[in-house]
Amino acid sequence: MWYVLQTLTGKEEELVRMIKKIVTPDSYSDCFIAYYERIWRKQQQSIVHVERLFPGYAFIITDNPKEVFLQLKHVPAMSKMMDDGSFTFLPLEQEEEVFLQNMLAQNHIVRLSYVATDGRGRIYRISGPLEKYTSQVVRYQFKKRYVIISLTLLGVEKTVALGIILDEDIRQEILYGKVETPLKLPEHYEPIQGIEELVFSVGDHVKVTSGSFENMSGVIWKIKKSTVEIGIRLFGQDMSMEVPIEFISRNFL
């Protein structure tokens, strides 16, 4: 089971180091802090920061919570933190545990989710960790590259920010900026698999997502600088229509 370790904000890493030092390794399988990637825009450049997802919280996975608790209780510093209320040790509900398992990637980091829009703020594709939880999105902030989602943690409804990446970001080289995790990360950011700019080709089956021809489907006949010519079957005849390239998405048949 997953358990939440609550402590003072800024003391999370210290708490994890202490637990790894004093708790016997066979008492738990992992102890960690959850982080998330977030893009910050500066002078038209996209910079990825890695920040704490839940400030003041760490997590431990164990099948022996009583044994872990007793080992912590025997350490005077930890015992004092428990007694004065600045440290708690509480189990996650199964739904909460599943959410974190789905969200956290390698190194316990929630990676950026790719969001594709039609140029008018209407979304036609989401991939990455957010893909399964679009129904929990409370607000999109495209300019600031994050969404607010609602979730339950320790039985209490909370809202947290998750980072997103747009087409204009992945067209440029992205560097890391502020990194709160002690992990050593590469200099350049590499999007997760499936997060890439959509490139269309003649013959692709597409669907119009906005404008006068919204919801119509067809095949790309010609690609121009900012528009595409799409062939459609209408009234028994092959006809063409020209739409802005940002108004189409792949139509997976």
Residues 84, 160: one domain? yes
In a domain, 185, yes or no: no
In a domain, 194, yes or no: no
In a domain, 36, yes or no: yes
Q: Check residue 37 and give its pLDDT.
A: 96
Buried b (16+ CB within 10 A) or exposed e, 95-104: ebbebbeebb
- The per-residue pLDDT of the chain, averaged, comes to 85
Greater confidence (234 vs 81) lies with 234
Report the number of distinct structural domains present in the chain: 2
- Residue 26 pLDDT greater than 90, yes or no: yes
Range of 209's domain? 205-250
Whole-model pTM?
0.74
Q: What is the pLDDT of residues 163-179, one digit of tens each?
A: 999 888 887 888 899 99
Q: What is the pLDDT of residues 182-199, one digit of tens each?
A: 888 888 888 776 555 456
Q: Report how far apart, in Å, the C-alpha atoms of 12 and of each of 16, 24, 32, 99, 105 are.
A: 6, 19, 9, 21, 19
In a domain, 197, yes or no: no
Residues 94, 33: one domain? yes
Contacts of residue 245, defined as CB under 8 A and 6 or more positions apart, other chains included, come to: 200, 223, 226, 227, 228
- Residue 109 pLDDT greater than 50, yes or no: yes
**Which tokens sit at 4?**
């939440």
Q: Check residue 199 and give its pLDDT.
A: 61
Number of helices (H), then strands (E), in the chain: 5, 18
> How far is the C-alpha of 84 from the C-alpha of 6, rounded, in Å?
13
In this prediction, residues 140-148 reach a mean pLDDT of 93
- Residue 75 pLDDT greater than 90, yes or no: no
In a domain, 195, yes or no: no
Residues 120, 227: one domain? no
The CATH number assigned to the domain holding 246 equals: 2.30.30.30
Dihedrals phi, psi of 29, to nearest 5 degrees: -105, -25
Q: Check residue 201 and give its pLDDT.
A: 76
pLDDT band with cut points at 50, 70 and 90 for residue 253: very low
Q: Check residue 138 and give its pLDDT.
A: 94
Check the CA dihedral 93-95-97-100 and report its sign.
negative
CB atoms within 10 A of CB 206: 21
What residues pair up with 76 in beta bridges, in sequence order? none
Given 179, 195, 223, the domain boundary residue is: 179
